[in-house]
Structure 1
Amino acid sequence: MNEFVYSYPTKVYFGKKTAVDALAKELAGVGQTVMLAYEEQAEAARPTLRQAADVEGYDIIFLGLPNWWGDLPMPLYTFLEETDLSGKTIIPFVTHGGNGFSATVDTIASLQPQASVSDQGLSISRNDVSDAQGTVSEWLSGLEASL
């Protein structure tokens, strides 16, 4: 199975002590990130991405995102509007504060109408991220069997 992973602006850490240490260092900037995301969403901003994604050789795209107030993060709009994923399968996974996927899967499908958006995505509450390694492993095993 070939895959390309694109995730912005959040990072999900799985592991033991080193992951906790890395996450603790980033938490200081979370408030700034949340405010930036809120401002970008209010303005319907399309932030410039640092580099274009080369997805040519991939059939399956794992698209990771945080659910920001029931919507995609604005840089993901930029990515989906600028990148042609026609003929590819998009498998979304999301972290959230209580809203699951909300309408994000439908939004992805509307921005990439020539792609197949899987209904086998994974939704993880921010409260469960630190203990989600087993859930993620099970999800990936199930996906591998169905692809």
Structure 2
Amino acid sequence: MAAGKSKIGRRVARSLGVPFTDTDRVIVARHGPIPEIFEREGEPAFREYERDAVARAVAKRSVVSLGGGAVMHHETRALLEDATVVYLTVTSAAVRSRIAGSNRPLLTDGIESWERIFAERRPVYEALATATWDTSTLPITRIADDITAWAKGRR
């Protein structure tokens, strides 16, 4: 959460000339605001919506920005097994200001919630990652340029 996935992904997609999909935006467009989905239907329903959005995006061969918890759903993880996965990391010190005042439904205790959730998810992120970039200090434009150059080198 709050690693810059959407901003960086959008720039990388544009540079590579491929579609960009932000799965959270797809879900909001189809089902309403994420906090309301969590309240109304619970996290399991949200994860199913997320899996569907990921399946559609992966089929389009696009750059996809996943919600931070998407990979915790086993079916969503399976969709990513053959994909190139860029894992964006961020330190808790850097993320503190990024999540301040956010309405993310899982961040009930602010940075403490983020740290707990990240510790739980980190092994899955690392297992899926093809490559890793830290977004804590470098400008997003630089990170996007570096990822784009790396991706072009893999073609």
TM-score above 0.5, yes or no? no
Q: TM-score, normalised by structure 1?
A: 0.42
Q: TM-score, normalised by structure 2?
A: 0.41
Larger relative contact order (Cα-Cα within 8 Å, sequence gap ≥ 6) = 2
Point out the structure with the larger helix share.
2
Point out the structure with the larger strand share.
1
